[in-house]
Structure 1
Amino acid sequence: MIKNVINYFAIPLAIGAVLYIALSTNASLDMSRYSTEGLELDYTVSRDLALNSNETKLSNSLNAQDHFFPFLGKSYIGFKEALAFKESRGDYFTVNTLGYLGKYQFGKETLKMIGIYNPNQFLYNPQLQEKAFLANAERNKWILRKDIKRFTGKSIHGVLVTESGILAAAHLGGPGNVKKFLRSYGANNFSDAYGASVKYYMKKFSGYDTSSIIPDKRAKATL
């Protein structure tokens, strides 16, 4: 009986002692040592990290500049990644409403020209998609080699013509439509079903270094 009474009082006393020690320690702690006063704190977190991607979706009106991506500059990699973001937001496995496939939104007929006859295999093979982009750019550069030489550095309807702009526009509308635009000095400006035009692509993707793309009439994408 006496043992139970002792236990009854001992537990509250122990809890009280712990609380007293904690409070007295905190009271004597010099919090000024942990102050952030005078420090320059200017940290930002990207929207993608701050929001739960499973619960939020991108609005159609959201500008690409609201996102943060590794800076790739004006290199070839910067060129193809910028173009891929415009085409599909960089998604290898997407198919748009017109049936264009993958990260760079290839049409089935274009794939056949660079040696790819199985669209389903293409869609689920990122390595093949990267090779297809390069092969198509090489082929377009060969087709447009004379126009690149003739028009690079000139201004058409306020757009400075560059090699990368020409190749991006060819990716959008094919080399034939780029020739029409250049040789008509902008009068013939092809637009796709979503309203993107040769002129727009030529301006948006101007000034990248695409010198590493070698013109190749028979370029193919093979693993």
Structure 2
Amino acid sequence: MVRNIASYLLIALTISIIVYVSFQSNETIDLSGKYSTKDLSLNYTVSNDADKDNNLYSKSKTSDYKFSPYLGKSFVGFKEALAFKESGGDYFSINSFGYLGKYQFGEETLKMIGINNPTKFLKSPGLQEKAFIANSARNKWILRRDIKNFVGRRINGFIVTESGILAAAHLAGPGNVKKYLRSYGLDNFADGFGTTVQNYMKRFSGYDTSFVKANKRAKAI
């Protein structure tokens, strides 16, 4: 019994000492120096592609902004880079010459790939993506011999690639690309804004366009 009382007294005395010391101490622990977020950059962003003309953001009627990450030299990277150059990636864009959508198609080109309703086309992002694939497949078939004969050759200081040829065909039509290649760069068509076949062949060179299969009768519908 005496031992129990002594134990209780010792515990009570220890607690009293701890409480007393804690109230007497004026020292505070300052964590602000080691753990402050002051002057730290807390905004994480994706760096821009080397091409400053390709904005990472584009406005559309359906949303304020659409984010497009850098997609490298993949086929998706190819078509998205081309779309940003054409329209800023806006599915609902119509330029001053009447070209439509994300990839800026003319009505005659749309007819060749089975699209006869431009209004419906402009309202359908899915159809626009199908149209891009179909038109690329058709152009690849038309230019199949030129792709075989000129890819890897140097014209006006740059190496010709399949993706550059397909991009230029999207801009100017396959006939004008043939003229450029077969004249070794002397016949260099320019569109209404002054953009040339050579400009697109250089700008969009080196992408993987093996996904596109040459098809004479390719249709979006």
Q: What is the SS of the residue equivalent to 1:215?
A: coil
Which runs of structure 2 are paired with 1:37-76 in the superposition (5 Å)? 41-45=40-44, 63-64=52-53, 67=56, 69-76=68-75
Bigger fraction of residues in helix = 1
For 2:210, the equivalent position in structure 1 comes to 211
Call closer, same or farther: CA 1:173–1:34 in 2, change over 3 Å: same
For 1:53, the equivalent position in structure 2 comes to none
CA deviations on 1:79-135 (whole Å, 9 max, x unpaired) are 000000000010000100000000000000000000000000000000000000000
CA deviations on 1:9-66 (whole Å, 9 max, x unpaired) are xxxxxxxxxxxxxxxxxx976343454579994554559xxxxxxxxxxxxxx94366
Distance in 1 between the 2:56 and 2:40 partners? 21
CA RMSD of aligned residues (A): 2.6
Distance in 1 between the 2:108 and 2:55 partners? 35
Which runs of structure 2 are paired with 1:1-223 in the superposition (5 Å)? 30-33=29-32, 35-36=34-35, 41-45=40-44, 63-64=52-53, 67=56, 69-222=68-221
Judge conservation of contact 1:165–1:205 (CA < 8 Å) in 2: yes
Q: What is the SS of the residue equivalent to 1:64?
A: coil
| Percent of residue pairs bearing the same amino acid type | 60
Distance in 1 between the 2:122 and 2:30 partners? 58
Q: What is the SS of the residue equivalent to 1:216?
A: coil
Call closer, same or farther: CA 1:132–1:66 in 2, change over 3 Å: closer
Moved more, 34-43 or 155-164: 34-43
CA deviations on 1:56-79 (whole Å, 9 max, x unpaired) are xxxxxx943664741211111110
For 1:3, the equivalent position in structure 2 comes to none
Call closer, same or farther: CA 1:188–1:43 in 2, change over 3 Å: farther
Unaligned runs of 5+ in 2: 1-25, 58-67
CA deviations on 1:177-204 (whole Å, 9 max, x unpaired) are 0000000000000010111110000000
Call closer, same or farther: CA 1:194–1:125 in 2, change over 3 Å: same
Distance in 1 between the 2:190 and 2:28 partners? 69
Unaligned runs of 5+ in 1: 1-26, 48-61
Distance in 2 between the 1:105 and 1:84 partners? 8
**Of the two, which has the highest radius of gyration?**
2
**TM-score normalised by structure 2 residue count:** 0.75
**How many residue pairs end up in the alignment?**
182
What amino acid sits opposite 1:195 in the alignment? G
Judge conservation of contact 2:54–2:85 (CA < 8 Å) in 1: no
Distance in 2 between the 1:213 and 1:151 partners? 18
Q: What is the SS of the residue equivalent to 2:31?
A: helix
Q: What is the SS of the residue equivalent to 2:170?
A: helix
Distance in 2 between the 1:75 and 1:66 partners? 18
What amino acid sits opposite 1:133 in the alignment? F
What amino acid sits opposite 1:183 in the alignment? R
